[in-house]
Amino acid sequence: MPVTTSKKRAKEPDPRQGHFFHLLNQTLDMPNPVTPPAEPELDPLPGRFDDDQTVRRLVNSLIRASGLDRETLAERMTRLSGHRVTKAMVDSWTGAGRPNMFPLHYLRALIRACDAGPEAELALLSALLEGTGWCPMDAARAQMALIGQYAGAALLAFSQAQVLAENGGRR
């Protein structure tokens, strides 16, 4: 039986799409520029990183931003984590005078269960990382960083090509 190959017609470029090298020559008006992370403290004061009450406040603000009651939140976290989470546990993690701290292994389940929106989630993660020298990135910032890497590689290749052209093909 003969094998048939189908020839696909080449698509015309979409005039609405930007050209990458054209973007390199323009100043991009970025609504959310990537901010560099803060420098970590080299010798913090003793007790400076006791974040118990800070984490409780942040978790409470994320729950408030979600608009969920704690029973619903506990049910969602149970489904997402595969571990039983109760309203009493959530109350214990968020109450100022309560003995139990929020367990880190529930962080992803909490964020997904709350579904409070990217601003609230980014605020929580940024506050948790404050003072470490690290910062979280949402998808838009990650794409901008990736585009920056591509632009750097393209500019390096362009400058190397210019040097080769000036030297008649010799390095």
pLDDT digits (tens, 9 = 90+) for 69-102: 999 999 999 999 999 999 999 999 999 888 889 9
Alpha helices by DSSP H, listed for the chain, are 20-24, 52-66, 70-81, 87-94, 107-114, 118-129, 139-166
Q: What pLDDT score does 75 carry?
A: 98
pLDDT digits (tens, 9 = 90+) for 98-145: 888 999 999 999 999 999 888 888 888 888 888 788 888 877 788 888
d(CA 111, CA 108): 5
- pTM value is 0.60
Q: Which residue has the higher pLDDT, 4 or 81?
A: 81
Highest mean pLDDT among 2-11, 40-49, 142-151: 142-151
Taking the CA atoms of residue 162, residue 163, residue 164 and residue 167 in that order, the dihedral angle to the nearest 10 degrees is 120
DSSP class of residue 48 equals T
Where does the pLDDT of residue 23 fall: very low under 50, low under 70, confident under 90, or very high at 90 and above? low
Closest by CA to 76, choosing from 66, 139, 120, 123, is 66
- Asked if residues 56 and 95 have their Cβ atoms less than 8 Å apart, the reply is yes
